[in-house]
Structure formats: C-alpha cells, structure tokens
Structure 1
Amino acid sequence: MHTEKVVDHIVNWLKDYATNANVKGFVVGISGGIDSAVTSTLCAKTGLNVLCIEMPIHQAASHVSRAQEHIAQLKKRFPNVKDTRVDLTPVFEEFKTEVSLDGNQATVDMALANTRARLRMTTLYYHAGLLGLLVAGTGNKVEDFGVGFYTKYGDGGVDLSPIADLLKSEVYEIGEYLEVPESIMKAAPSDGLFGDARSDEDQIGASYPELEWAMKMDDEGKTASDFEGRQKKAFEIYKRFNTMNKHKMIPIPICEIPINLR
C-alpha cells in the first residue's frame, strides 16, 4: 500500500465532502483503539474543526488512559482539534432502571452492550447538530463489510466512513505513519462495550489477520471444504458472522406496494 498517498487521498476526500456539505468539520468518538485514533488524526489533517469526544460507560482504565493520551497528543499536534468528555455512566444506569433485565443473562448483556454504543451515537449526533459537524465513522473494512462487528445504529450510525475500505492491517500501517501513540498500536483491539478486558478476538474467536485471510478466500469463491485445521475453523467463523450480520451490510428492506394495489 502506498501509505502516504492513501492518507492524502482520504484527507482530501474528507475535506471535499465537508466543503460540499457546507459543514465546519467532524466529530469523532475516541475509544482508545486504533480505528478511532487513525480516523481522528485523518480528520485533524484536513485543517477543519475536529471535536474528539470521550464517552466512558464503566470503561476499563486502560481504555480511558489510551484515549486521553491520544487526545492530548492530537491537540498538541493540531490547533484545530478540541475535545470534551461526556460521562454516560449515569445515563446508562438510569436506562437500566426503566427496562426489564429479566431473561437469559448473555442476551441481556449483549442488549446492554449495544445500548452503550447507541447512547454514544446519540451523544455524537447531539454535538454534531449543535456545532455544524459531521459524525465520522471509525469502522474498518473487516468490521463493516466482513463480519459486521459493530452495533446497528450505534457505532454504525455515522455520516461518512473514511477508513471503511481499509483492512485492519492497513489501518495499523496508516496508524504507524500518522504516529499514533505506541500504547494504542500495541493494544489488543477491543470494542469496550462490556466494561472488561475482553478483546475482539475473544468475542469473535478469530484474529483480524485470520479474518482478513478468510474475507479474501470468500471473495475468491472458496468454501470451508477447501481448508483443514485452523484455517477451516477461521473460515467457518468468518462465514458465520458474515451470514448472521448480513442485515447490517445491506440496505434496509422496504416493502414495495404493487402498482395494482395503489
């Protein structure tokens, strides 16, 4: 990958989109992970206004410290970057008092995890509307179009997606070029939606290099029967998530009314 040229291309794309939309810049949720760090740095390089928002909900201390380190570094490098912190923990806890928490614990935990993401989306759009900004998404190609590893109308609710055509390995390559803090570069990828140390690999069952490989094999028309051992397992995991989350990757189904019924 021609890293410098890709960075310039994305920065120019962001700048052109914002100009054509007649908005002042971007708002980005900062999690302490590589995707939000790269996205916010690319937005900062446009020279337009960038608001970085930290939105903890019972967040792991390591995630908080990495997010704060990145924001501090970004503000030092780019005068167009501002930040704010919105502690959503009280909002999340109040929400829990108004809904039923009965049922299968794993199902309840997942529903609450997705609720965290949707509270953050609401917060990002509040500030975007207030300040005339666009919400910049932080999803990469494997998450957005491979395994669908994001929350529908949560971190999937954005105005534009600057890194959604980049594989996770390419995001890291750009992160190194953009001088993202080493603590973020070395941290295990995690969505941080459960308030503990579980990584994306813990949840999915396969690493991002394995998922990138499986995505490529699937594009080439391969099936699980073409592989053995760990490769077969990784491919099956990829296909299971890809099938299960397909509803996130396609347009919302519309019930079209036949002409003769109108």
Structure 2
Amino acid sequence: MAKKSTIKVGETNTHIVTWLKEYAAKAKVNGFVVGISGGVDSAVTSTLCAQTGLMTLCVEMPIHQDPTQVSRGREHIKQLQQRFPNVLHAEADLTATFETFKKNVPVTDNEAKLHLSLANTRARLRMTTLYYFAGIHGLLVAGTGNKVEDFGVGFYTKYGDGGVDLSPIADLMKSDVYALGAYLEIPMSIQKAAPTDGLFGDSRTDEDQLGASYDELEWAMLEAEKNKKSTDFSGREKEVFDIYTRLHSANQHKMNPIPVCLVPEQYK
C-alpha cells in the first residue's frame, strides 16, 4: 500500500510560498507563527513560511515532552535560522500551566476518557499560546495539518492544532509532505522519525493510535474517493479501509462547519 508522491516538488513549493505571501499581504500582517513539534509537518510548514521572507516565528511548547521530539525540533529551528534571517525562535514551557490546569478540574474513573481529554487539553493550551504570540507580533497562525489528517481521518484536536488562520499543506497527502521535506532538506532525523502527535508524553506513534500507517490511510482515502466499499477488499486492505471509513465518519464534526440552528423567518 506504500504510496510514492507524484507532485512536482519545485513547482508546489513555489506555489505555496507565493500563496502565503499574497495571503499575508491581503491580511496586512507581519508574517507567521508555527508550532514546532519535531515532526515533518511542522518542519515543512515552517520552511515554507520562512521562504516568504516575512517574519516566521517558530515556537516550542513542551509539556512533559519526549526528549527526542525536543531535540529534533531544536535541530530544525537551528538549521532554519542558519538559512533564513527572518526566522525567529521562542519557547513557552507549558508543563507548569498544564499541571495547574489538572489540579483545578475534576477527575474521572474512566482512564481512557481522562487521558484523551488531557491530551486534547495540551493541544488547546498550545493553540492559545500560538495566538498569544500571533497577537503581540501581528502574525497569522500557520496550521501544520496534512490532507490525510485534516480531511481523511480527522486526526487532530478541534480548537487545538485544528485552530489556525491558514493551512499551507492541507491539500498535500503525507507522502507529498515527505517529498517536499526531502526537497527542502529538512533534517534527516525528522524525515526518518515515526510520526507522532506528542500529546501523551510518551513514545506512542500516530500509527499506534490510528491502527494503520499513513501510507495505508492514504491508500484507503484514495480508494474511498473512487466510491469503493469495504466488500471490495479482503485481508489487511479490508482492515485498513474499515479503519479509514470508521474514523472518517466519526470525525465529520471536525471537518464540517459548526451546525447552526436556523430560525424560520416567521419566528423572527
């Protein structure tokens, strides 16, 4: 099921950078702020933003973070600053903030729901922090979600990493992001690292959580777009397709506009 990207990386890179510059000019802002996680998505997004020549603020926001994620993120930021004079770096250690939050909310005996709620809380604390930096510097928050995450399986936190001003790579499959990352020469440590959202303070990967790799989910997303059904497959293909369709259905609330109750005209 491995998918090799077919995008024209040079042309795609230029197109996205131009789009970013034009959007920033229309919005009359100074540039972009990007949360750096040590993963390929944030590395590619921040490099695209840096190429605009506009202020690009890379923010680290550790919360009990795995040391390998921290080191990869810092390696990327250091490399980016060496390449682009418009790249700035900030760190906001949110560990104490997170712990204070935990002390001031009730707990539950449902461990699974507790861990998931706290993981989503981490993402929402980071979103709030990025908008703080955006506000004081006149920047836009650049999202780091790719097409499989944002529109395939909805693998992000609503009003967390899903809370952004614009999404430069949300029309790119994960394989496309990797291809662009190689073209942009982001650190090899990031290119080779297993994708992880880093929201649980341990080494679990995205594949551990989703039950399928991004290559597999990308394959399933493309098959679903062809109107294929679960009965068209067997074995691992059927298993992956079922995972994709279950997540795609369950997370529609993230992908669709917020429901609005429309009051009939005769009641107004």
Is the shorter-chain TM-score for this pair beyond 0.5, marking a shared fold?
Answer: yes
**Residue 118 of structure 2, aligned match among 112, 130, 134:** 112
Superposed structure 1 runs of 4+ greater than 2 Å apart? none
Deviations 1:216-248 (A, max 9, x none): 110000010000000000000001110110100
User: Where do 5+ consecutive residues of structure 1 fail to align?
Assistant: none
**Residue 227 of structure 2, aligned match among 218, 221, 234:** 221
**Residue 147 of structure 2, aligned match among 124, 127, 141:** 141
Residue aligning to 2:188:
182
Is 1:152 the counterpart of 2:158 in the alignment? yes
**Residue 103 of structure 2, aligned match among 97, 103, 118:** 97
**Residue 80 of structure 1, aligned match among 73, 78, 86:** 86
CA distance in 2, matches of 1:102, 1:248: 25
What TM-score comes out, normalization by structure 1 length? 1.00
Once the two structures are TM-superposed, the CA of residue 103 in structure 1 deviates from its matched residue by 2.5
Deviations 1:84-115 (A, max 9, x none): 11000000000000001122001000000000
CA distance in 1, matches of 2:233, 2:68: 38
Residue aligning to 1:70:
76
CA distance in 2, matches of 1:91, 1:84: 17
CA distance in 1, matches of 2:232, 2:72: 41
CA distance in 2, matches of 1:174, 1:36: 12
Residue aligning to 1:245:
251
Once the two structures are TM-superposed, the CA of residue 24 in structure 1 deviates from its matched residue by 0.4
**Residue 61 of structure 1, aligned match among 62, 67, 72:** 67
Residue aligning to 1:36:
42
CA distance in 2, matches of 1:20, 1:261: 39
- 2:186 match: secondary structure: coil
Deviations 1:131-163 (A, max 9, x none): 000000000000000000000000000000000
- 2:237 match: secondary structure: helix
Once the two structures are TM-superposed, the CA of residue 260 in structure 1 deviates from its matched residue by 1.0
- 2:32 match: secondary structure: strand
Give the letter for the 2:41 counterpart: D
Residue aligning to 2:138:
132
Residue aligning to 1:171:
177
CA distance in 1, matches of 2:67, 2:27: 37
Count of paired positions = 262
- 2:72 match: secondary structure: helix
**Residue 27 of structure 1, aligned match among 27, 30, 33:** 33
Deviations 1:15-42 (A, max 9, x none): 0000010000000000000000000000
Please report the RMSD computed on the Cα atoms of aligned residues, expressed in angstroms: 0.4
What TM-score comes out, normalization by structure 2 length? 0.97
Residue aligning to 1:12:
18
